[in-house]
Amino acid sequence: MSPSTMSTRPSIGVSIQAFTAREMVQQIRQAEAAGIPTAWTTIGGAGGADPLTTFAAALMETESIRLGTAIIPTWPRHAIVIAQQAMALEQLAPGRLRLGIGPSHEPGMTRTFGVQWHTPLSHLREYLETLRALFTTGEVNHEGAHVVARTKWREPVPVELLASALRPRSFELCGELADGAISWMCPRAYLVEQALPAVRRGAERAGRPVPPLIAHVPIAVTSDRGAARDLARRQLGNYGQVPFYRAMFETSGHPVGADGYSDALLDDLVVSGTEEEVAERLAGYIVDGCGEVLAAPVIDTADRDQSIARAFRAVARAQVLVG
């Protein structure tokens, strides 16, 4: 199965909330049993354990659920290394890996890895070009400002290639080069008014079909909206201090002030309510034009297991609504 022949059925996936690699595998099995089509993980999705390594175990213990990275940061890994890891997973379970890459955030990349952060959009472009060449032709000869890559495989390995996006230019780049754009922390109105048109512009400029926008949406399964806001402020408040996110919030009409996120911003950003209400609101993103939804549970740590179970049930309900 290649990216071009994968099902276009609307998908509602879930972000795994695990502290260890073993727990991640268990939750992926739980998500598959619930009927969720895709389980996603972030860079810290297994308490810091490498997600692609963990995916190898999860793929062997599940039958059909697809596994996506949202995202693998590009700065710490050479493009060929990412491609080799993806090749191994594709060979183990053809068509089930969804490789999402991105530059991540400057503070984390410079502080943790000591990278020389500059022109991140050009950096992402070179990674996408390098990976695309390997996945489609099995060969690459790229010499750029960020990536130097020369290798040849026995045959191409068709891996779905996604990328993170935050501002309009990065959504345009995804429209031009990726199989989909993965958002994060973007209010719903921003996705509709800014992101979707940008993905379309990039695809039209490249003369290719418009890839899906995968709306990465925080969810809190609780009918107490105030409690949902409090959880989101505690767990997601740091993004309001990152310049790129602050600029995006400003563009969305929700500037972040000294007091942090406003209630209006959180109401446009976080999907909350009963399981039924969360499912309906997640399905609404598909109606708005997003190709998929990636639901990221905001977990109540005082009731962690049940909080995760409620989130999984809501996501499964949403999948039934769009399927």
User: Which amino acid is located at 250 in the chain?
Assistant: E
What pLDDT digit, counting tens, does each position of 151-181 carry? 999 999 999 999 999 999 999 999 999 999 9
* 234, 223 Cβ separation under 8 angstroms: no
What pLDDT digit, counting tens, does each position of 111-132 carry? 889 999 999 999 999 999 999 9
Name the DSSP letter for residue 65: -
Say whether pLDDT at 50 is over 50.
Answer: yes
User: Band of the pLDDT at 5, cuts 50, 70, 90?
Assistant: very low
Helix (H) and strand (E) counts in the chain: 13, 12
* Distance (Å, whole) CA 103 – CA 93: 26
Say whether pLDDT at 10 is over 90.
Answer: no
Token code pair at residue 245: 């996110």
* 282, 217 Cβ separation under 8 angstroms: yes
- The residue among 190 and 302 whose pLDDT is bigger is 190
Say whether pLDDT at 61 is over 60.
Answer: yes
Task: Give the model's pLDDT for residue 45.
Answer: 66
Mean pLDDT of 41-49: 78
* Distance (Å, whole) CA 159 – CA 85: 11
Taking Cα atoms as reference points, which of 86, 90, 68 lies closest to residue 77?
86
Token code pair at residue 164: 């993170």
* Architecture in CATH for domain 7-322: Alpha-Beta Barrel (3.20)
Q: Mention every residue, 6+ apart, whose C-beta is less than 8 A from residue 221.
A: 272, 273, 274, 275, 278, 297, 307, 310, 311, 313, 314
Q: Label the pairing between strands 213-221 and 271-273.
A: parallel
* 66, 9 Cβ separation under 8 angstroms: no
Task: Give the model's pLDDT for residue 42.
Answer: 85
Q: Can you tell me whether residue 138 is helix, strand or coil?
A: coil
User: Band of the pLDDT at 3, cuts 50, 70, 90?
Assistant: very low
Lowest mean pLDDT among 5-19, 128-142, 253-267, 294-308: 5-19
pTM for the predicted model, two decimal places: 0.95
User: Band of the pLDDT at 44, cuts 50, 70, 90?
Assistant: low
Q: Can you tell me whether residue 215 is helix, strand or coil?
A: strand
CA distances in angstroms from 168 to 105, 196, 216, listed in the order given: 16, 9, 16
Mean pLDDT of 280-298: 97
Rounding to the nearest 10 degrees, give the CA dihedral for residues 93, 291, 172, 253.
-130
* Distance (Å, whole) CA 165 – CA 199: 10
User: Band of the pLDDT at 9, cuts 50, 70, 90?
Assistant: confident
Tally of CB atoms within 10 A around 187: 24
Name the strand (E) or helix (H) holding 275.
helix 275-288
Task: Give the model's pLDDT for residue 6.
Answer: 47
* Distance (Å, whole) CA 121 – CA 317: 36
What is the domain partition of the chain in residue ranges?
A: 7-322
